Structure 1
Amino acid sequence: MASEFLDQFDREVQPPYLHEAYKSTLLRAPLQPLVVPPKKEITRSGPLFKDFNLGALDHDLTKNSVKDGEAIGERIVVHGKVTNEKGHPLPHTLIELWQANSAGRYVHKVDQHDAPLDPNFLGTGRCMTDAHGNYKFYTIKPGAYPWGNHPNAWRPNHIHFSLFGGNITSRLITQMYFPGDPLFEHDPIFKAVPPKGRELLISKFDLSITEPNFALGYRFDIVLRGKHATPFENL
């Protein structure tokens, strides 16, 4: 990403490529000057998801992998609005989500954390924003988990989001956190984001979307591109 491109973003919000406390960045941060490709080589068209074929339960992680019973953990509803840098809603934006289960374990062969897997929870889902840029997921609140970056290192509860805007250059991958997590001050990934940007990554409890006797609600709005963009993963 060239400096010309970086100037489109608020440096007080977006994380740097290199953050020494986050050890993986020492291996993958760029060491040479970044190269600007000719504009004609940059693909700006597509993808278009308006007619994308989504399953009826793709947005409901509490049901889309149920085999023998209910997914284990605290049920939550996550909703919000996806907009561009001007505040205009972005309809037909494909959102993909992945997360650990309530015990803090991913359904992935690399994750060998000593925590149980839930046969009724795969931790992945997808949906598309409606005509007004709104989205909604049903899921289980993820648990914290150890990650080996430093002694006694634990990740705060979080959910990963991947979004595509109106063209291929507007993809954004980010993480949503939960309010009041005591692990914020001990997590190098979260602290790699400047203070102004950290606030944009923390969801807000939303009683209006909470469903009685079923699930607590959280709101997480997302901005694609521009100086007000939601902090994205460039680490």
Structure 2
Amino acid sequence: MQDHNKRFVERDRNWHPPAYAPGYKTSVPRSPQQALASMQQATASELTGPDFRHLRMGPHDNDLLLNFREDPALAGAAGLPVGERIIMFGRVIDQFGKPVPHTLVEMWQANAGGRYRHRNDRYLAPLDPGFGGVGRTLTDEQGWYRFRTIKPGPYPWPNDPNSWRPSHIHVSVMGPSISTRLITQMYFEGDPLIPLCPIVHTIKDPAAVETMIGRLDMARSKPMDCLAYRFDLVVRGELQTYFENQ
């Protein structure tokens, strides 16, 4: 934990890849063609709301094994998603280790075959009728969050003749307001596709890549049920998680 009396630590922008990265082909048409312009400060509503403590959560919003079933109350394995069952958990903290309570954490992912439930996903892997691929939860007083889900599969993408995305789960942390939303993704410890991914190659600092890797936690795993991966999210400062949209 960092010293609470330590001065504010400015974000290290050298972590972030250039907007124009030819090895990541879709960055070429998306990169700015003109100098960036400074925008005015966000409005009061964007800076102060909403208050996520009053958000009504469903009983299975953070359980992707159940939240897409027609009747989650049904007993047994009928209709459960196919794949390796896992727990994804961690804490949302600031640069000094202070928890960020009552903030909205959202996640979305491909199924065990590497396919998203999205109309534009044309990968040949089948959709899983028992898996929606999205979840949400609120952090508790100590900043903890937890999801139960299926480990997503890797999938090919047309960056070059044989590019594959490592298994990953997208994560959004809202913070105190809409304007503070941060987005990243969690890779899995030991995945051999991580160092081969063209998107990962755009991140030059190995320490930045390490902040996006969930660590196997056998103590939190459930015997004869599922493994657990811990993924802490540091929203600011010298130990921050790498966020794609900063």
TM-score, normalisation: structure 1:
0.91
Distance change in 2, residues 1:34/1:118 (3 Å): same
**Preserved contact between residue 42 and residue 179 of structure 2 (Cα < 8 Å):** no
* Identity percentage of aligned residues: 46
Which of 41, 44, 57 in structure 1 is aligned with 2:47? Answer: 44
Greater relative contact order, per chain length (Cα 8 Å cut-off, separation 6+): 1
Cα deviation 1:84-135 (Å, max 9, x = unaligned) = 2232100011011100000000011100101111100011110010010000
For residues 137-216 of structure 1, the aligned pairs below 5 Å read 137-193=147-203, 194-216=205-227
**Preserved contact between residue 188 and residue 214 of structure 2 (Cα < 8 Å):** yes
Q: What is residue 232 of structure 1 aligned with on the other side?
A: 243
For 1:70 and 1:40, locate their aligned partners in 2 and report how far apart those are by CA, in whole Å. 43
For 2:114 and 2:39, locate their aligned partners in 1 and report how far apart those are by CA, in whole Å. 41
RMSD: 1.8
**Preserved contact between residue 170 and residue 224 of structure 1 (Cα < 8 Å):** no
**Preserved contact between residue 17 and residue 234 of structure 1 (Cα < 8 Å):** no
What stretches of structure 2 of length at least 5 have no aligned partner?
A: 1-8, 71-77
TM-score, normalisation: structure 2:
0.87
What stretches of structure 1 of length at least 5 have no aligned partner?
A: 1-6
The SS at the match of 2:69 is coil
Runs of 4 or more, structure 1, over 6 Å off, are none
The answer to whether the aligner puts 1:218 opposite 2:207 as a matched pair is no
For 1:177 and 1:51, locate their aligned partners in 2 and report how far apart those are by CA, in whole Å. 31
Q: What is residue 145 of structure 2 aligned with on the other side?
A: 135
The residue identity in structure 1 corresponding to 2:231 is F
Q: What is residue 59 of structure 1 aligned with on the other side?
A: 62
**Preserved contact between residue 163 and residue 198 of structure 2 (Cα < 8 Å):** no
Cα deviation 1:6-56 (Å, max 9, x = unaligned) = x94213433332322111111112222222223475742223201101100
The answer to whether the aligner puts 1:122 opposite 2:127 as a matched pair is no
Distance change in 2, residues 1:190/1:225 (3 Å): same
